[in-house]
Amino acid sequence: MTDAELRHTVLYDLHRRRGGRFGPFAGWDMPIRYAEGPVAEHEHCRRHAALFDVSHMTVVDLTGPDVGAALELLVPAALDAVAPGRIKYSFFTNEAGGIIDDVMITKRSDEALRLVLNAATTEADLAYLRAGLPADCAITPRRDLALVALQGPQAAAVLCRLDESVDALGFLEEGVAQLCGHTVELSRSGYTGGDGFELALPVEHAEALVEALLVEEEVALAGLASRDSLRLEAGMCLYGHDLDETTTPVEAGLGWAIPKSRRVADAGYPGAEAIARQFVDGPPRRRVGLRTIGRRPVREGAELSDGDDIVGRVTSGGYSPALAAPIAMGYVSAGVGDGAELAAVTNGRVEAVRVVPMPFIPKDYHR
């Protein structure tokens, strides 16, 4: 896409004023970093509170009778068992068990769900929902809402200063708060492996709220580069890189998101039979962490060799500020165990790597 074709979030002008440096992401012109740089932004998030613009993602409200049961025909979640106000991580799957997209699902009531869709797959996801849900289920993309994420160990203290009810929310719960005179829907969730919140509010109020939050001494803007390094340290997947339509949840190490009642061949969602078989027999490959033995990073696309055969591929790689070292993740054949030393090969260049468990740093969610 040309620069003229890239979309802008409602906070685009604010990012420009604040020194954001932009780049294309999933059809949007997004702030990649600010003046201090991605490492400083990453470390600020781990120690204080970082504010990310995530309005490129799409909120979709589903309403209708038995909407949870209807959506269970498209995802492996057990939504009828979820209490209102709770959030579940799940997937849209194809008939082979591959992941069309990963999605956050909030149960608002027995007749209302809220989904958050990835930017790159929004239109395909909406088509999937329209084709798979019954006519009496209304599908409403909330283009009127902006999304921002306030992440880090001091995020709760900042928001509680504005509305003390915020800290009553547990991990993966949603609520409503009054922040700087605005009614904000928020969830205690995020993409960093630590405590944090995602806030949804009308687009016309988004800039005023963000400016008010940035007055708080703990809060600093952060871009997509630090968001990527944070999620990589936490061992979290990025769709289109670590997940795609050829990857099953079991291969990706995300079987924990499928309750036992849905790990059966007749569960009713696309690919249930293939996924159930992998739960029983094991997957042919698995997602793993990788630590470079040297100092040079390995990047997405590098082939992984055991010296005789290609046994896998790197899907994400970068620098970990917490470890002061390069890290990566990828897929290896099921027989490759933790501790194995492999060669990562890119255009003839070889780097030695070791297979390690993930996450690379302990997760620190609020419970």
- Domains annotated on the chain, with CATH: 3-56+144-233 (3.30.1360.120), 284-367 (2.40.30.110)
DSSP state of 201: E
278-289 pLDDT tens trace: 999 999 999 999
Encode pLDDT of 82-114 as tens digits: 999 999 999 999 999 999 999 999 999 999 999
Q: Read off φ and ψ for residue 316, nearest 5 degrees.
A: -150, 145
Closest Cα to residue 234, out of 278, 186, 193, 205? 193
Q: What is the pLDDT of residues 229-272, one digit of tens each?
A: 999 999 999 999 999 999 999 999 999 999 999 999 999 999 99
> Residue 68 above 90 pLDDT?
yes
Q: Return d(Cα 119, Cα 111) in angstroms, integer.
A: 25
> What's residue 159's pLDDT?
98
Model confidence at 303: pLDDT above 90: yes
Residue 348 banded pLDDT, cuts 50, 70, 90: confident
258: its two tokens: 């499928």
Amino acid at residue number 27: G
Helix axes 224-233, 38-47, angle to 10 degrees: 60
Query: Quick one: pLDDT at residue 272?
Result: 98
Which residues lie closer than 8 Å to 201 by C-beta, 6 or more apart?
A: 145, 146, 182, 183, 184, 185, 209
3-class secondary structure, 300: coil
Does position 2 have pLDDT exceeding 80, yes or no?
no
Q: What is the pLDDT of residues 174-204, one digit of tens each?
A: 999 999 999 999 999 999 999 999 999 999 9
- pLDDT of 1 > 70? The answer is no
Tens digit of pLDDT for each residue in 139-171?
999 999 999 999 999 999 999 999 999 999 999
Question: What are the respective helix, strand and coil percentages of the chain, to the nearest 5?
Answer: 25, 35, 40
Residue 172 near residue 82 (C-beta atoms within 8 A)? no
Give pLDDT tens digits for 13-58: 999 999 999 999 999 999 999 999 999 999 999 999 999 999 999 9
The 3-class SS string of 43-83 reads HHHHHCEEEEECCCCEEEEEECCCHHHHHCCCCCCCHHHCC
State residue 347's pLDDT score: 85
Mean pLDDT of 301-318: 96
